[in-house]
Chain A
Amino acid sequence: MGAPEPVLSVRDLTVTFPTPHGPVRAVDGLGFDVRRGETLGIVGESGSGKSVTSLAVMGLHTGASVSGSISLGGRELTGLPERELNRLRGRKMAMIFQDPLSSLHPYYTVGEQIAEHHRVHFGSGRKAARERAVEALAEVGIPDPRRRAREYPHQFSGGMRQRVMIAMALVCEPDLLLADEPTTALDVTVQAQILELIARVQEERGLAVIMITHDLGVVARVAHEVLVMYGGRAVERADVDTLFAVPAHPYTRGLLDSLPRLDDSDDEPLRAIPGSPPSLLAPAPGCAFAPRCPRLADAPAQERARCETELPLLDGPAGLPQVLDSSPKLSASFEQGGPPCTGGTPMVACHFPAYEGVAP
């Protein structure tokens, strides 16, 4: 299958913060693509580098050094002058956050703010921009949009505020929507509404979406392709069905095993991952997951030494396709209508990957 050109292409992205305790490499050598109409889920625990990644894509880091390549619609963004970047930001790509209040001004009505955004990017007149704002509010399902446009952010509920942010993001008709934990602060019934809304506008406009979240359930619901992050690095990348059915990285597998599930029997204790996420201040030379890795714990000394000293790179290991072909869970998933992903072979950053599937 010929994959369409990606809307966004990121290669070898590295973000380093200078801190009093030395440099912190919050994101290290990250690469991914997102295509039109597709959703890339970026999942990882807190501190794994998800937000730092999204801010880097938006070009919003001030105190950090960012290297690598970020290319939007074929255009290289790294090294672009601030003015150029400002023009593209909001226009070609838009971002929504966990806390909409942090990016809405308390003293202007939401209608004014959306209109202003439109005016800046399209040079539209006041009246036309105001009309566009009302239309945008209607499109995201805000009842009585003309009246609500004249209200201030604090007059909106959390879910309605996130709709306002989506309206603001869409008013400039971007190609890429970056959503950083957009539903984490919302209740589950409101989360369902917002995820549905994003899916609808994605379908209508063919948007490329990056959905950043710590919630594997959200990823399973919305993503076509998934990137799992740990300690600032990608540990696994695969289409959503492969990732959930036959996770190859011990961390991905550990995460899936440790989740309490609605469809579980509840009898056995949860298979928790021991220990806690790594410190970025003193990264180990080898695999960041080594201190917690069950596969390493059972491995012979020689293999252990390799994990502890040699950084595993994100690779598509040989032998993967056969294993995938023989996974009953995965073929069931595909038969059931899962979208084969255009992103290419699954990749994993582990010296000893295994495709054993999640515990039954």
Chain B
Amino acid sequence: MTFTEPLLSVVDLTMTFPGRRRSAPVRAVDGVTFHVAAGETLGLVGESGCGKSTTGRMIVRLLEPTAGSVTYDGRDISHLSQRELKPLRQDLQMVFQDPHSSLNPRQTVARIISDPLLVQGGSAADARKRVAELMELVGLIPEHIDRYPHEFSGGQAQRIGIARALATGPRLVVADEPVSALDVSVQAQIVNLMDRLQRELGLAYLFIAHDLSVVKRVCDRVAVMYLGRIVEIGPKERVYAAPAHPYTRALLSAVPLPDPAAERARERITLHGDLPSPAAPPPGCAFHPRCPKAQEVCRTGTPALRRMEPGAARQVACHFPEAA
């Protein structure tokens, strides 16, 4: 392992939303720490409401963290103003889940993809040329440059979203559920596209998704979130083959496998109950009301995210982790 400075460092990142009306404030993200190296993919998984999108939005600074820091390329960007952020925008881009609703329906593809270029102060003619190149790069037909989003299928619209994110030559792309809204047959196209772009352009991804099979396919390392916190993080081979946190185990065992024989042979851990509200997280280990391994200490003591053993790449937040 080389100890070069990571491209992105997130330390104790926290987001507390004020409660709507008279309800309690929501700590959507609660002290999240991780790093992303240049050119690598970190997968971020967890069930809805666990704080994945909020984490992603703080990293690209669509949201300002209420505590903790985001360091990009050695610079703390947690509290930069919009004006200070402007030059950074070319480096840090985001791809969203719903391809159609994230594209302005009244703008042509040329306009949508060139917008970030023009914001950075390029000429219109250069921008148009670059848009055609980008369309080709993401597998769209450059002749369709003057069409509107509704003329494209969901998969093609997601390609437009990716081309827009790539326009300024970013080094880090936060992709928030980029294939979740797509049909399986189209999902695979976009996953392959993102894979190829990463290799060709040396991109780093923070790949957010709730689908563990997709994340396994795309990432180098994976972080599992539960109620605003990371419960396990490590190299994907290890986490998937031998999950150490009871929640990771349950999550993996709940994923239906497209193989009837394997499904029948499988022993499943069924969790009881629902996800608690992040406005009123359980004390101690937030997973304890649903955890099959919970002990008395879990009700009171919050487990910190710790290395499985000294020097290990994998970290887990549990008083009784499974042996690695």
Chain A positions near chain B (C-beta within 8 angstroms): 45-46, 157-160, 187-193, 195-196, 214-221, 223, 240-241, 244, 254-256, 258-264, 266, 269-274, 276-277, 292, 332-333, 336-338
| Chain B positions 195-247 with a Cβ under 8 Å from a chain A Cβ | 195-196, 210, 212-214, 216-217, 240
| Cα of A77 to Cα of B33 in the assembled complex, Å | 60
- Chain B residues with CB under 8 A of A217: 255-258, 263
| B261–A193 CB distance below 8 A | no
- Chain B residues with CB under 8 A of A196: 270
Partner of A215, one of B155, B256, B259, B268: B256
- Chain A residues with CB under 8 A of B155: 276
| Cα of A221 to Cα of B263 in the assembled complex, Å | 6
A188-B47, A276-B153, A336-B265 are known contacts. Are A261 and B257 too (CB-CB below 8 A)? yes
5 A-B pairs with C-beta separation under 8 A: A260-B213, A264-B217, A270-B192, A273-B189, A276-B183
| Cα of A189 to Cα of B248 in the assembled complex, Å | 11
| Cα of A277 to Cα of B261 in the assembled complex, Å | 29
- Chain B residues with CB under 8 A of A292: 185
Residue of B nearest to A185 (CB): B48
| B216–A187 CB distance below 8 A | no
- Chain B residues with CB under 8 A of A333: 260-261
| A272–B189 CB distance below 8 A | yes
**Interface SS of B by simple majority:** helix
A188-B210, A188-B251, A270-B217 are known contacts. Are A258 and B256 too (CB-CB below 8 A)? no
| Cα of A241 to Cα of B263 in the assembled complex, Å | 11
How many residue pairs link A and B with beta carbons under 8 A? The number is 145
Shortest Cβ distance from A12 into chain B, in angstroms? 27
B264 interface residue, CB < 8 Å from A? yes
- Chain B residues with CB under 8 A of A262: 212-213, 216, 240, 252, 255, 257
A193-B270, A276-B154 are known contacts. Are A188 and B255 too (CB-CB below 8 A)? yes
| Chain B positions 63-80 with a Cβ under 8 Å from a chain A Cβ | none
Chain B positions near chain A (C-beta within 8 angstroms): 47-48, 153-156, 183-189, 191-192, 195-196, 210, 212-214, 216-217, 240, 250-252, 254-265, 268, 270-272, 274-275
Partner of B259, one of A45, A158, A244, A255: A244
| B270–A220 CB distance below 8 A | no
| Cα of A244 to Cα of B261 in the assembled complex, Å | 9
- Chain B residues with CB under 8 A of A216: 184, 258
Residue of A nearest to B214 (CB): A260
A157-B274, A266-B217 are known contacts. Are A241 and B260 too (CB-CB below 8 A)? yes
| A160–B274 CB distance below 8 A | yes
Known: A196-B270, A273-B185. 14 other contacts (CB 8 A): A157-B274, A159-B274, A189-B270, A190-B275, A192-B254, A214-B184, A215-B256, A221-B256, A244-B259, A260-B213, A260-B217, A261-B258, A276-B155, A333-B261
Residue of B nearest to A335 (CB): B261
- Chain B residues with CB under 8 A of A241: 260-261
Shortest Cβ distance from B47 into chain A, in angstroms? 4
| B184–A188 CB distance below 8 A | no
- Chain B residues with CB under 8 A of A254: 185
| Cα of A260 to Cα of B192 in the assembled complex, Å | 11
Partner of B258, one of A46, A188, A220, A338: A220
| Cα of A273 to Cα of B184 in the assembled complex, Å | 9
- Chain A residues with CB under 8 A of B262: 220, 263
A160-B274, A260-B216, A336-B264 are known contacts. Are A189 and B184 too (CB-CB below 8 A)? no
